[in-house]
Amino acid sequence: MHNKSRFRAFVTSCRLEFFPATTSLLFMGLFWGLDEKIDLNSATLFGTAALVLTMSNLLGLHVNMLSDYEIDKKYKDFLPTSIDTLGKKTFKAILLIECLLAFCFVSFLTVILGKIVLLTLWSIGCFVGLAYSLKPLRLKSNPMLNPISLIMVLCILPMVWVYCVFATSITLAFSLFCGGIAFGVMGLVLPTELEDFPEDEAAKVRNPTQVLGPLRASKFAIFATATSVSLASVGAGLGFLATKTPWLWLLATAVMVVAHGFVIKKLLVLKEVCKQYENAAADEQKKLMQKIKAITNQSPQWFGLVAWSGIFAGFLLYLSKIIM
């Protein structure tokens, strides 16, 4: 029974609800970077890249959990409870294993492919991920560096890293598409932070939502999501133009527009509740914050929806590239 409870605690600490969005970056990097039919060699590279991303994401996630242990004890007790069940020593040992495994797999790919950029990008991502959570830098407490570091480790670096496993150079089309996905992540990070707005305010955490306030944060999330689909669509369009079936861009764009449109619809509802929250009395604010939390609790599904629409666009592009 003890081992079962420890296993459940570890699964809880992995925050599996965010894995669909994380996995999407892996596939988008693959579909944009690979220009030939998948064979045993590319499948092996893909599997190794998946292990690197999984270990790296778990490392960043677990370091953040450890650094927020006291804060989460008050407001998200299921996270520190999972650490307590495992034991802090065991939890730190897990962090070390995740780091070592990721480093070994990255080194393997760097050597066999002769691409030092893989180790360089991973090292930068590892540094930024740790600096986001840990003192003395603790970038998450800096209103400017918080979103920049998050976008780097949650989107740009993982996607570009996987792309570089398969590609030899970064194209303008991929850069625009990647920029669009980055704006999408930015637009969805803000609602996630809004979920903890009163707790972060009490703990004096200076993240973007604390600086902007709920209403402006929700407005910016809408702007970022609209910018996301625009940039990603243009980037995809340039990518499809270099293939023999450019008309598939219409289908790819349609799916991305529908996915982003759904999220914008939800964000508009969030904006109205945030507007009421900022104009309400203290007692009423508590009730409205529960509504905000109920809406923002859906953000992992929004992440997944937007991300998987990007996968679909990438998959169509890949098909266009290999069609003879």
Close Cβ partners of 245 (under 8 Å, ≥ 6 residues apart): 319, 320, 323
Q: Whole-angstrom Cα distance, residue 280 to residue 277?
A: 5
Domain ranges within the chain, ordered by starting residue: 18-322
Average the pLDDT over 41-68 and give the result.
92
Average the pLDDT over 44-72 and give the result.
90
Q: pLDDT per residue over 70-88, tens digit each?
A: 777 776 788 888 888 888 8
Q: pLDDT per residue over 90-99, tens digit each?
A: 999 999 999 9
Close Cβ partners of 65 (under 8 Å, ≥ 6 residues apart): 13, 72, 79, 80, 82, 83
Q: pLDDT per residue over 184-232, tens digit each?
A: 988 888 888 888 788 777 777 777 888 888 999 999 999 999 999 999 9
What local confidence, expressed as pLDDT, does residue 72 receive? 77
Closest CA to 236 of 218, 221, 249: 249
Q: Whole-angstrom Cα distance, residue 10 to residue 24?
A: 23
What local confidence, expressed as pLDDT, does residue 145 receive? 87
- Look at the alpha carbons of 183, 185, 186, 190 in this order and tell me if their dihedral is positive or negative: positive
**Does 62 or 22 have the greater pLDDT score?**
62
**How many CB atoms lie under 10 A from the CB of residue 254?**
14
Q: pLDDT per residue over 250-308, tens digit each?
A: 999 999 999 999 999 999 999 999 999 998 888 888 889 889 989 998 888 888 888 88
Close Cβ partners of 211 (under 8 Å, ≥ 6 residues apart): 143
pTM value? 0.89
- Residue 1 confidence class, pLDDT cut points 50, 70, 90: very low
What local confidence, expressed as pLDDT, does residue 174 receive? 96
Q: What is the rounded average pLDDT for all residues in the chain?
A: 90
Q: Whole-angstrom Cα distance, residue 311 to residue 294?
A: 27
Q: Whole-angstrom Cα distance, residue 137 to residue 133?
A: 8
